Amino acid sequence: MDALPRRSVLFVCTGNTCRSPLAEVLCKRLLADRLGCTPNDLPARGFFVTSAGVMAYPGEVASEGAVTAAAELGADLSAHRSRPVTPELLANATDVLAMTGGHLAVLAYRFPNVGPPPLPLADGHDIPDPIGGELEEYRACAQAIAAQLDQFITRWLRT
């Protein structure tokens, strides 16, 4: 199979412990499944997928509910460590996908004209933050994210 063009995807949320890490690992899992490889093989296939938070404290682990919800969908969040959004992350991205309209606004305010224009992961609505909620809220969040990813993955694989 020919190598795909380089695509660097950055998912953005608030603290980088729930939604954007879920989006990162679920995207890696779904991309790998579609390409017939493992998530670790994605860079060799031209895909770099990561996440960050607009208010993230560096080095925090993913929330327990997010780790469990990801595992139930075949993705591994156990090694995740949070990191803040930086101009470098944005400038190196080909796609920036935010979980809420608020995240889009923060990115536009703090990082005007840095990187590609950020887009909402879910056009027309926000992905609710499950932080501090029950496992069912994390599961619903992971399912909502996975449902939105398909449209992007299909587009990326066509280009």
Q: Which residues are catalytic?
A: 13, 19, 129
Query: How many other C-beta atoms are found inside a 10 Å radius of the C-beta of residue 113?
Result: 7
The pair of three-digit structure tokens given for residue 133, joined into one six-digit string? 């909620």
Helix (H), strand (E) at residue 49: strand 47-53
Yes or no: say if 116 and 93 are a contact pair by the CB < 8 Å rule: yes
Residue with structure tokens 């925090």? 60
Strand ranges of the sheet holding 95-98, from the earlier edge strand across to the other edge: 47-53, 7-13, 95-98, 119-120
